[in-house]
């Protein structure tokens, strides 16, 4: 679902406080619902989840507000998403989701049945969490400006790429890829290790709440920034990087960010 901007947050080995703590599971397949398969699940991006002290609040496309502990939450979400689903805080035993081949989604359309890769949860994430790879996703403003410069629209919204943390950097260019292998410190305590560039699926192209569909959010990367993100995989459209938490800490807007690599300067 769509998230929310927060002025500060605690970050542990499980990621940002409240992030990916629950998931919608398709009862028929047993797989976690994800807009990475837009034919079935793009309506998730019409819902917004807001962190609250007791239980997350969910805003549905019709404006109705519900909470994750409502007794009828599964029925309400099933009606909104058009499939029988269960909201859970427990990873299914097989822990899988479908990732539609993004180029085929661009070519065939959102309603077409296209090939999908089956992803296993927890590759570099703590056991039992709902991160399909790693618990932190970073993007620089340089990368966002580069994507915008390549787009016919001349702009792009960070929300389309769903980063946990956006780092303000100078200039234009896909600078994030150079961070892989570095350690990054934010504020007084948090230390992250950047582990891989982020291959992009069809999600950035989809409507996000009031934001309309934007095929260029992926097409620009497919044409101009196709790289090897992980060993053993072919070049893929990439933007942003994945990271693991080395030392937990609390961060807030405006914190200084430093990399262990001499090639990357401190920024905010």
* Encoded tokens for 116: 């999908």
Strands (E), the chain: 8-12, 15-16, 23-26, 48-50, 57-59, 65-67, 85-88, 96-100, 116-120, 136-140, 165-167, 183-186, 190-199, 226-227, 236-247, 249-252, 257-259
Using CA atoms, how far apart are residues 196 and 224, in angstroms rounded to an integer? 18
- Give the three-class secondary structure for 176: helix
* Encoded tokens for 181: 């292998």
Using CA atoms, how far apart are residues 125 and 136, in angstroms rounded to an integer? 9
How, if at all, do strands 48-50 and 57-59 pair?
Answer: antiparallel
Using CA atoms, how far apart are residues 21 and 91, in angstroms rounded to an integer? 10
Which long-range contacts link 113-117 to residues 24+ away (Cβ below 8 Å)? Answer: 113/39, 114/39, 116/37
What pLDDT, on the 0 to 100 scale, is given for residue 267? 54
What pLDDT, on the 0 to 100 scale, is given for residue 265? 47
- pLDDT greater at residue 121 or residue 157: 157
Per-residue pLDDT at 254 exceeds 80: yes
Per-residue pLDDT at 261 exceeds 80: no
> Would you kindly state where each structural domain of the chain is located, as residue ranges?
8-259
Per-residue pLDDT at 203 exceeds 60: yes
How, if at all, do strands 8-12 and 48-50 pair?
Answer: unpaired
Per-residue pLDDT at 264 exceeds 80: no
77: which residues sit within 8 A by CB, 6+ positions away? 24, 58, 85, 87
Residue 59: beta bridge partners?
A: 48, 65
What pLDDT, on the 0 to 100 scale, is given for residue 268? 52
Across all residues in the chain, what is the average pLDDT? 93
Per-residue pLDDT at 262 exceeds 80: no
């Amino acid at each position: 679902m769509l998230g929310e901007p927060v002025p500060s947050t605690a970050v542990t080995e499980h990621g940002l406080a409240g992030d990916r703590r629950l998931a919608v599971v398709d009862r028929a397949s047993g797989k976690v619902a994800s807009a990475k398969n837009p034919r079935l699940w793009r309506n998730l991006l019409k819902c917004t989840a807001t962190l609250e002290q007791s239980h997350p609040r969910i805003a549905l496309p019709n404006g109705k507000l519900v909470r994750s502990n409502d007794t009828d939450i599964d029925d309400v979400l099933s009606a909104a998403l058009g499939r029988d689903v269960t909201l859970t805080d427990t990873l299914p035993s097989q822990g899988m989701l479908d990732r539609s081949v993004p180029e085929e989604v661009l070519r065939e359309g959102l309603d077409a049945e296209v090939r999908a890769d089956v992803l296993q949860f927890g590759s570099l994430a703590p056991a039992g969490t709902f991160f399909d790879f790693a618990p932190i996703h970073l993007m620089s403003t340089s990368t966002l400006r580069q994507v915008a410069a390549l787009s016919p629209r001349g702009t792009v919204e960070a929300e389309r790429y769903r980063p946990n943390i956006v780092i303000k950097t100078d200039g234009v260019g896909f600078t994030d890829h150079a961070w892989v292998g570095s350690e990054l410190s934010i504020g007084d305590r948090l230390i992250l290790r950047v582990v891989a560039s982020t291959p992009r699926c069809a999600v950035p192209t989809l409507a996000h709440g009031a934001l309309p569909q934007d095929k260029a959010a992926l097409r620009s990367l497919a044409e101009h920034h196709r790289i090897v993100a992980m060993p053993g995989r072919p070049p893929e459209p990439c933007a942003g990087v994945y990271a693991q938490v080395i030392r937990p800490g609390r961060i807030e807007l405006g914190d200084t960010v430093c990399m262990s690599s001499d090639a990357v300067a401190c920024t905010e």
